[in-house]
Structure 1
């Protein structure tokens, strides 16, 4: 079960990243003169949905993973500290920001404000996500897939 969830979490990361980049690019390109349409709403919504699905898989992994250990001295170990504290904290903040951005876009009065909320909050969320992914070059035990 652990390996299957880990592979799903790792593979779904790419879907989330592609959707977030697409939503951000779409919002920035239409921010000044675009009209908010059904396609824009769907792109923002699918980004939100897949991000939340990734969160749910991540939470299950957090509680069953051997990489999360609260043993004595775990804060001195870079890998254990990353998975037990840094990764989950930054991801929760990023997903909260993406959720706030989507909510603000739903309530915004003008199309420019809708695109502005998506572009701002999704971009900050994406930056936090990119910073807290255990990329292989960071020597944290992560893989590309």
Structure 2
């Protein structure tokens, strides 16, 4: 399960980075918002939600979860590694997926291209920054 979660994360990051770049390019170049832009925004939403579901399952089956019973919440918060895996990473990733979801929902309600790109650029960039801040990089490399 952790293998799937780790490899799917590469896809999520790749798609999110592409979405952020293209939304910024669309915003600055004043191009029209098209079907490809819509599909990319939707695909970013879908892959991030799949990653969230995989992460929720992994959270409860991973050996890290047993630490709550062994050391309690106080012990988890004192240990930086446990805190990252059990508190910080899940919380920030949930917030990131919420940002992607809100950005996608808000951009659909806009009627012209510039506000659509602006909404996606703001929310997807924030989600990307949040994600990059709490990825357990040491376990990836």
TM over 0.5: yes
Runs of at least 5 residues in structure 2 that lack an aligned partner in the other structure: none
Q: Do residues 42 (structure 1) and 44 (structure 2) align?
A: no
For the pair 1:16 / 2:18, whether they are aligned, the reply is no
User: RMSD of the alignment, in Å?
Assistant: 1.0
1:139 corresponds to: none
1:31 aligned counterpart, secondary structure = helix
Normalised by the length of structure 2, the TM-score is 0.92
Deviation, structure 1 residue 16? 0.6
State how far apart, in whole Å, the 2-side matches of 1:125 and 1:56 are: 17
Q: How many residue pairs are counted as aligned between the two chains?
A: 135
Which blocks of at least 5 consecutive residues in structure 1 are unaligned? Answer: 137-141
Q: Aligned pair 1:125/2:121, yes or no?
A: no
How far is the alpha carbon of 1:95 from its aligned partner?
A: 0.6
Cα contact 1:48–1:98 (8 A) shared by 2: yes
Q: How does 1:80-99 map to 2 (within 5 A)?
A: 80-99=82-101
Length-normalised TM-score, structure 1: 0.89
